[in-house]
Amino acid sequence: MNLPRLTNTLTRQVEPLAPLAPPKVGLYTCGPTVYARVHIGNLRTFLAYDLVARTLRARGADVVHVMNVTDVDDRTLDEARRRGVPLREVTDRHLAEFLADLDALRVVRPAVMPRATEHIPDMVALVRSLEARGHTYEADGSVYFRIATLPGYGKLSRLPTSGLKAGARVSHDHYSKEEARDFVLWKAWTPDDGDVAWDAPFGRGRPGWHLECSAMSRHYLGETLDVHMGGVDLVFPHHENEIAQSEGATGKPFVRHFVHTGFVNLEAVKMSKSLGNVRTLDAVRTLGLAPEDFRYWALSVRYRDPIVFSEEGLVAAARARADLVALRKRLREATGEGTGPGTSAAAAARSRLDEALDDDLNVSAALAALHELKTEMNRLLGRGELARADADAAEAAFAHADGIFGCFAVPGEEATPADVSALVLERETARKRRDFAASDRIRKDLAARGWAVEDTPAGPKVRRAGR
Ligand code: AMP
Ligand code: ZN
């Protein structure tokens, strides 16, 4: 299995992914805090997660993607108080909106999206093991992590080890901490929390934000994660503190590959709910553009580089995407016999695309290969020189690219849902591994969802069963 190379924030190097038990890849991603509609900065990060998961699947990996949903923290509680409604009402609403945005963007839903409030016992158990290993202290009913007990603290962010700023999300707990850089694991109940509290051996309260990711990733993926992703703003303190909690509790490496995504900025400023300069997916629709246009725009810049949001940029992306989709449709006009130069052009484009993605997801080079293929195909079609077999080869290259980029479906035709495309890809890679039991299992799974897959010389074709 040839997995792509990605920048590992732990080493600051571009390294091949090296999962512990291939072909399985455990992917844990930091999901949304559901106190408002997600903005397009968040969505860019979620699209980068999806691109990584789809690229790994196209390489034969059996990806288990787990994304947490933060449904209890200062921000969600503040919002519920501000609106005068129960916490659950706020979080249910924004979680539903979030899922609708993911579906509109053809994001393959993660296998599990655990809510923090459903895993409190895991979090309590984690605090207990940290207590047992001498990493904690209590003050005023809250439990803190004592950073001085963990010599490797700071290895991810590489910030100076003393005088670190206190975690931005632990606002009203400064007084009791012994050191500014210590962080809260469990927050004692305060009247502001209302009825949101859980009983724990160390007192009634609620978990700190960092604790949820350490506890839930361990619950679903074990003590060591193959890949952990999040936005670059999470490197410190969130991911640094996750490492402290997880490694403090197990003594084992928490993450093999840490991958961080760049910001969407509005002019030079980070787009963020707290700055009030946010745009949602509705801003894209207001421009008369499709969610897939935003998808193309967001994926056309390498995941770790910042992008500046602009209407011109979105419109240019929509145009580039439309050109690719139009060519894909036009390929059906080819009637020539035999094979011509188109077949080798398609094969070359496909391998350039794969090589570019292997190189730390170099999407510019990958998309350039597709656009060059498009130009060549249009040229051959214009001269009436495109053989049917060449067109099929080009179509197979576009279908492969669509499995990864997820925005080259021809409109008007029922687009294959993202989860179905993912299964088709998974089955294809199982077949390549000659794992026919797995490929059969996936075929049955597809049939149960109402889809039939047929293997053709140009690759698998999927259609609605019974049509
Ligand atoms: P939050 O809902 O704030 O917990 O953030 C959810 C995810 O979106 C995290 O991985 C953040 O790092 C990421 N994120 C937040 N703001 C931006 C932005 N402006 N651009 C890209 N990613 C962001
Ligand atoms: Zn997290």
Is the distance from CB of 400 to CB of 352 less than 8 angstroms?
A: no
Per-residue pLDDT tens over the stretch 373-403: 999 999 999 999 999 999 999 999 999 999 9
Ligand 2 centroid from CA 211, angstroms: 8
Helix (H) or strand (E) holding 186: strand 183-188
pLDDT at 417 over 80: no
| Ligand 2 mean position, distance from CA 238 (Å) | 7
**Closest ligand 1 atom to 232 CA:** 12
Average pLDDT over residues 442-461: 82
Confidence (pLDDT) at 167: 47
- Helices and strands in the chain: count of H runs, count of E runs: 14, 15
CB of 270 within 6 A of ligand 1: the answer is: yes
Evaluate the omega torsion of the peptide bond into residue 237 and state whether it is cis, within 30 degrees of 0. Answer: yes
**Structure pTM?**
0.90
Q: Is 91 in the pocket of ligand 1 (CB under 6 A)?
A: no
Query: Mean pLDDT for the chain?
Result: 92
Q: Where are the domains of the chain?
A: 5-261, 416-467
Q: Which whole number is the average pLDDT over 113-140?
A: 98
Per residue in 311-334, pLDDT tens? 999 999 999 999 999 999 999 999
State the Cα–Cα distance between residues 423 and 428, nearest whole angstrom: 8
So what CATH class is 5-261? alpha beta
Rounded to whole angstroms, how far apart are CA atoms 305 and 297? 13
Per-residue pLDDT tens over the stretch 177-212: 778 889 999 999 999 999 999 999 999 999 999 999
| Pairwise CA distance, residues 449 & 76, whole Å | 36
Query: Residue 303 has what DSSP assignment?
Result: T
Burial 9-31 (b: 16+ CB within 10 A, else e): bbeeeeeebebeeebebbbbbbb
pLDDT of residue 455: 83
Peptide bond into 22 cis (omega under 30): no
pLDDT value at residue 173: 42
Distance 63 CA to ligand 2 centre (A): 19
- Per-residue pLDDT reduced to its tens digit, 286-297: 999 999 999 999
Which ligand sits nearest to residue 242's alpha carbon?
A: 2
Mean of the pLDDT values across residues 94-102?
98
CA distance 25 to 19: 6
CA of 117 to the centre of ligand 2 (A): 14
Determine the pLDDT at residue 466: 66
- Which residues, in sequence order, are CB contacts of 435 under 8 Å at separation 6+? none
Q: Is pLDDT of 310 > 80?
A: yes
Please, which pLDDT band fits residue 252 given cuts at 50, 70 and 90?
very high
Report which protein residue has its CA nearest ligand 1's atom 9.
231
> Considering only CA atoms, which of 201, 377, 406 is closest in space to residue 299?
406
Average pLDDT over residues 416-433: 83
Task: Give the pLDDT confidence score for residue 415 in this predicted structure.
Answer: 63
67 vs 11: CA distance, rounded Å: 24
Percent of the chain past pLDDT 90, that is, above it, reads 78
**Do the Cβ atoms of 446 and 453 come closer than 8 Å?**
yes
- Give the ligand with the smallest distance to the CA of 230: 1
User: 46 and 103 in contact (C-beta within 8 Å)?
Assistant: no
For position 170, what pLDDT does the model report? 43
CB 70 within 8 Å of CB 212? yes
Is the CB–ligand 1 distance for residue 26 below 6 Å?
no
Q: SS3 for 6?
A: strand
6 backbone φψ class: left, alpha, beta (φ>0; ψ -120 to 50) = beta
Ligand nearest to the CA of 213: 2
Whether 25 and 17 have beta carbons less than 8 Å apart is answered as: yes
Q: Distance between CA 324 and CA 410 in Å, rounded?
A: 9
Quote the pLDDT of residue 453. 87
pLDDT per residue as tens digits for the range 10-44: 999 999 999 999 999 999 999 999 999 999 999 99
For residue 289, what are the contacts with CB-CB under 8 A and spacing of at least 6?
314, 315, 318
Per residue in 429-446, pLDDT (tens digit) is 888 888 898 899 889 888
